[in-house]
Structure 1
Amino acid sequence: MILGGILALIAGAGVGLQNIFNRHLNEHVSSWMATTFVLLTGSIASLLIGLLVDGPAIFDVSGMKLSYWLFGLIGIGIIYCMMQAMKQLGPTKAVLIAVIAQLTSSLVFDLTGFLVLPQMNLKWEDILGIMLMIAGVLIFNMKKKDISKT
């Protein structure tokens, strides 16, 4: 459990860093080229690390459903949307909103058993947690009053 928490923290920090990298990359090339570059470099790195760790066993896709081949398309949409959101909102606001959307949709998926997930029951803590996060983003986005003008 502790290792899972540590790995989640590392992944979260990595997502924040990756989003900033994507934003800078997007300043020099088109959004589609930036998306291609990110996915291509990530795919090459993943392939090389997979070969080092698991060897040729990484190529065994015999148990994989055909529909899973399409799930990579979601990654294209995620990267493109995040780069566009960062242009409009900046990294912090874009990531905050994305995290809330991720947690909310994950909660809905858990509650409905979407894509054959084990169905979970809704608890008041779940609703309270989502509401607190949304309130936090609203507070974070409040404009500070300039007290020097009064």
Structure 2
Amino acid sequence: DKIGLFETTTVVHAVGFGVALITMLIWGNGSLKRVSEVNKLYLLGGAFGVIIVYSVMRGMSLLGTAYSIEIQLVAQLIVATIIDTFGLFGVPQIKFDVTKPLGILLMIAGIIVFKLKG
């Protein structure tokens, strides 16, 4: 908040990179030499991380912490359901059934109940 949303997002990811780098150096057993062989779609994870961190922080300043996180969780669950249903990014396809949208609707109802003024 004090340095700006984009600046905070950058700092958050720089700290995350530092922790990931240290963790890799201590416990890593793979090889960065093979990074060119990684499915290019997987590299979008970093971009999605930036979008998620930025939107959570922006949402927190506009809506409050709990409401912002609740909305983000529902949005991520919807995207994850789409990925699973269609087997995107090489994940095993998971059959879509009535329980999936019901669960999402239940979460949305929970957000509405949570936000009711008592």
TM-score by length of 1: 0.70
- Identity across matched positions, percent: 31
Count residues with an aligned counterpart: 117
**What residue is the counterpart of 2:88 in the other structure?**
114
SS in 2 for 1:121: coil
**Higher radius of gyration, 1 or 2:** 1
Report the AA paired with residue 83 of structure 1.
Answer: M
Q: Which runs of 5+ in 2 are unaligned?
A: none
Residue by residue over 1:42-90, the C-alpha shift from the partner in whole angstroms, topping out at 9 and shown as x without a partner, is 10111011100126x4423253134443431221111111110000111
CA distance in 2 between counterparts of 1:119 and 1:67 reads 17
TM-score by length of 2: 0.87
2:70 aligned to 96, 107, 115, which one? 96
Q: Which runs of 5+ in 1 are unaligned?
A: 1-26, 145-150
2:105 aligned with 1:131: yes
SS in 1 for 2:28: helix
Report the AA paired with residue 124 of structure 1.
Answer: V
CA distance in 1 between counterparts of 2:36 and 2:51 reads 27
CA distance in 2 between counterparts of 1:67 and 1:30 reads 29
RMSD over aligned CA atoms reads 1.8
